[in-house]
Structure 1
Amino acid sequence: MNNKLGLGGSCYWCTEAIFRSIIGVQTVEQGWLNSFEDHISFSEGIFLEFDPHIITLNELVEIHLLTHSSTSNHSRRDKYRSAVYCQTIEHQKEVEGIIATLQGEFDQPIITRALLINEFKLSPEHYQDYFYTAPKRPFCQKIIVPKLVKLMEEFKSKVNFKQVNKAIN
């Protein structure tokens, strides 16, 4: 099973904080991704590596869909493309199936697409691990902390509570 994945849909600071808080996610880097389908434009996102024996691809996709506006085609979608970036066609088809299965949990159509990753550009070092290096920043408190609280409520068994609670309290 492929254990690397790109995710986009929200600002990379938010997405990074969410997935750094998940047990079984080994590395998270934030930056800009593009796909073979749209190789000209980049959008914010993360690239992560995970242990499929601890957290499954299905669980990661579900967390992603439920922690950003995966049914909203808002005006900032060029910067925040709602996508799961896959490394192979087989991986892409698997993610498409997961999204189709999860559609039943949503009232509106999911706009998140499974795309083949073309390129990932790392954001500057001073932005990496944005939330956990200074969780008291106003942006972190106002935008990221509510997302982490929702994550802890909905995915209790998958969250590193010790790490998250240390940061938000």
Structure 2
Amino acid sequence: MKQKNIQIATIAGGCFWCTEAVFQEVKGVETIVSGYTGGTVPGTPTYREVCSGLTGHAEAIQLTFDADVISFREIVIIFMATHDPTTLNRQGADVGTQYRSAIFYHDEEQKQTAEAVINELSEYYDDSIVTELAAAETFHKAEAEHQNYYRQHTQQGYCSYVITPKLTKLRKLFADKLK
């Protein structure tokens, strides 16, 4: 049996419920954990603390993926297409640094790949891409109620009005990449 080529990606595209829901449908993604990263306050932050905007953390997901099935480049392209990378510290009605668009790279190759994808995609946006690129730091797993959120709350208003349209876009643009 062939061994998998497992790698890690850490991305923040606004509310982690949205980003988690998108990547749960992507072929080659093995695990997804919603959490917090990129902050300046020591210790493990709580959802309430991160939502205050005072910790500097972003709501993010950390995923493991089989790079023989889906590349980091493809992950970045899907990420960029399923959120708005042109709004600084905002995704829709979610406003604050905790909702920033960011790619937390785990090595120089991921950094260079992310930079290349951002440069390539920039011509498709009317506004400048403001996605932050930063070295991956400590990733703090969010509380249990934030894991697998969309699948457990599909009828909730936020899920219906914000996440479902992102999934529709994913399914339309990346049908060949879905599980």
- TM-score range for the pair, normalised by the shorter chain length: 0.7 to 0.9
How is 1:6-155 mapped onto 2 (pairs within 5 angstroms)?
6-34=10-38, 39-40=40-41, 41-74=56-89, 76-155=95-174
Shift of 1:2: 7.4
State the aligned residue count: 157
The answer to whether the 8 Å contact 2:16/2:61 transfers is yes
Identity of aligned residues (%): 30
Shift of 1:77: 4.2
Shift of 1:126: 1.9
- Using structure 1 for the length normalisation, give the TM-score: 0.84
Looking at structure 2, the residues matched to 2 and 63 of structure 1 have their Cα atoms a distance apart, in angstroms, of 18
* Residue ranges of structure 2 left out of the alignment (5+ in a row): 42-55
The answer to whether the 8 Å contact 1:96/1:113 transfers is no
Q: CA RMSD in A?
A: 1.8
- Secondary structure in 2 matching 1:13: helix
* Residue ranges of structure 1 left out of the alignment (5+ in a row): 161-169
Looking at structure 1, the residues matched to 71 and 125 of structure 2 have their Cα atoms a distance apart, in angstroms, of 20
Q: Which moved more, 1:54-63 or 1:68-77?
A: 68-77
Shift of 1:158: 1.0
The answer to whether the 8 Å contact 1:27/1:49 transfers is yes
Looking at structure 2, the residues matched to 22 and 2 of structure 1 have their Cα atoms a distance apart, in angstroms, of 15
Paired amino acid for 1:139:
Y
- Secondary structure in 1 matching 2:98: coil
Question: In the TM superposition, what whole-angstrom CA distance separates every residue of 1:68-109 from its partner, at most 9, and x where no partner exists?
Answer: 110112552411121111112332122212221222222221
Shift of 1:135: 1.8
- Secondary structure in 1 matching 2:139: strand
